[in-house]
Amino acid sequence: MINLQIPEAGVVEQHVHLGGAVPIHRLYEAAVDRGIRLPVQSYHEFASLLHRRRDNSGTLERYLEIYEVAERIQSGPQAVRESVLIALNGAARTGGSLAVDLEGEATTPDKQQLPIRALELRFNPMKRNGNGIWDLDRVMLAACSAVNEIRTAYKGNLKAGLMVCLGRDLPFEENLILAKKVARWSEEGLPVVGLDLAGPESSNSLKDPARLEEMAELYRLAGPRVGRTVHCGETRAIDLETFLQTVKTLQPERIGHPLTAVRAYCENEDASGLKLMAERGITAELCMLSNLLTGAVQNIESYRTILNAFDQFGIRYTFSTDAPSLQKSTLAGEIGSLLQSQAVRPEQIEQSFETAAQTTFLHRLVH
């Protein structure tokens, strides 16, 4: 596709959600198999409902709407284990192709041009315990056993680790349980390498200092063994002041879609968000297609401005797919589109591969 210097060890993908990484037909089959009630009558309707497109997304809230369906299907230890296996196998299998078909299979010859050899997979176990039917520890253990099985099956050629997402849309008490468990799971040597905060930014923007302090407490409780990232600033629900306070208080090493900082610089010449990220050496996790689908970024060409702003301030960034199966995309395809539209220069992509290898939380895996 592209004349890029690909690292010999392959590419690390840092930002993929389990809810978006299982092909739609696999979700449908699992739902039928387990007798899960669905909001639609046919596979065609199901596929159309779950496929994330501009016409059924447009905002982060709408983009996230159907995750609840995927989460319901992925609930319970058995379903979680299966989902993790499918997601990791899928990343390895489609990594080199530019596009996938409706079923999530590679449509271009799989030459492994962009081999994904390491994946950080994130999910919220609390949204997969069937409102308390299943034991949270068993849900997590099932996910971890899938990661370990993959490690063995791929003879070490596919590295993987799990990240736990707290939910902006969950009550404090549930996030508290999750944070404490993250500390324990990681101490027990399970492949849990990171902590994240996800969900609609508008449901808990952390603008209220009391809510932010609560969240900071959870970030502390997660313990010393996991890396910290946070979805922050994808939408305008997070204003610059909230962005700055969130970064200072939660102290993440990486941030998912920190676009508030870029907007403030480009629209109001306020560089404080970018300066803060630079001072603290925070890496930006960027997901091109999902940003377009949620309307966080208007068009692909805007990435030129975004990346140039990061470069200007010496902020490092990585590229990921976010939800490859629901968007029907691959990392190679997204990077190919960025290059084709001349929104990025090849050396920016090459640098992002190096950054992803350097800043991955997979270094925290206990061997």
> Which CB atom, from 82 or from 201, has the smaller least distance to Zn ion?
201
Closest separation in Å from C-beta 48 to Zn ion: 22
Considering the complex, what minimum distance in angstroms separates the CB of residue 182 from Zn ion? 18
CB of residue 122 to Zn ion, shortest distance in Å: 7
Query: Which residue in the block uniquely carries the two structure tokens 């971890």?
Result: 144
Residue placing its CB nearer to Zn ion in the complex, 4 or 287: 287
Identify which of residues 71 and 322 has a Cβ nearer to Zn ion in the complex.
Answer: 322
Tokens of 303: 């990435």
**Shortest separation between residue 195's beta carbon and Zn ion, angstroms:** 14
Q: How far is the CB of 287 from Zn ion (least distance, A)?
A: 6
- In the bound state with Zn ion, the residue whose beta carbon lies nearer, of 4 and 282, is 282
Residue 74's nearest CA partner among 27, 120, 121 is 27
Query: Where does this chain touch Zn ion (CB under 5 A) — which range of 23-31, 46-54, 240-248, 315-323?
Result: 315-323
* Contact window for Zn ion (CB under 5 A) among 103-111, 137-145, 264-272, 320-328: 320-328
Q: Using CA atoms, how far apart are residues 85 and 119, in angstroms rounded to an integer?
A: 12
Binding to Zn ion in span 86-145, by CB under 5 A: none
Token pair recorded at residue 324 = 């490859």
**3-class SS of residue 169:** coil
Any idea which residue has 């739609």 for tokens? Answer: 24
CB closer to Zn ion, 232 vs 362: 232
How far is Cα 282 from Cα 335, in angstroms, rounded to an integer? 22
Distance between CA 358 and CA 253 in Å, rounded?
12
- Contact window for Zn ion (CB under 5 A) among 77-85, 162-170, 300-308, 318-326: 318-326
Judged by CB, which is closer to Zn ion: 255, or 335? 255
- The Cα 355–Cα 332 span in angstroms is 17
CA angle 37, 42, 47 (to 5 degrees): 95
Query: Letter for the amino acid at 267?
Result: E
159-167 β-sheet, strand order: 11-17, 116-123, 159-167, 192-198, 227-231, 254-256, 283-286, 317-319
> Nearer to Zn ion by C-beta: 75 or 327?
327
163 vs 357, which CB is nearer to Zn ion? 163
Q: Nearest-CB residue to Zn ion?
A: 322
The single-letter code of the amino acid at 92 is A
From 288, 320, 324, 282, select the one nearest 306 (Cα to Cα). Answer: 288
**Window of 6-14, 29-37, 240-248, 322-330 that interacts with Zn ion by CB under 5 A:** 322-330
| Beta carbon of residue 17, minimum distance to Zn ion (angstroms, whole number) | 6
Residue number, 20 or 115, with CB nearest to Zn ion:
20
Binding mask 275-314 for Zn ion (x = CB under 5 A): ----------------------------------------
From the list 21-29, 112-120, 126-134, 319-327, the region that binds Zn ion by CB under 5 A is: 319-327
Smallest separation (angstroms) from Zn ion to the CB of 164: 13
Type of residue numbered 150: I
Q: Measuring CA to CA, which residue among 266, 214, 210, 274 is closest to residue 247?
A: 274
Minimum distance, C-beta of residue 330 to Zn ion, in the bound complex (Å): 16
Q: How many other CB atoms are there within 10 angstroms of residue 347's CB atom?
A: 10
CA distances from 222 to 94, 174, 200, 205, 215 (A): 33, 14, 22, 20, 11
* Smallest separation, CB 322 to Zn ion (Å): 5
Counts for the chain of helices (H) and strands (E), in that order: 16, 8
Residues within the interface to Zn ion (CB under 5 A): 322
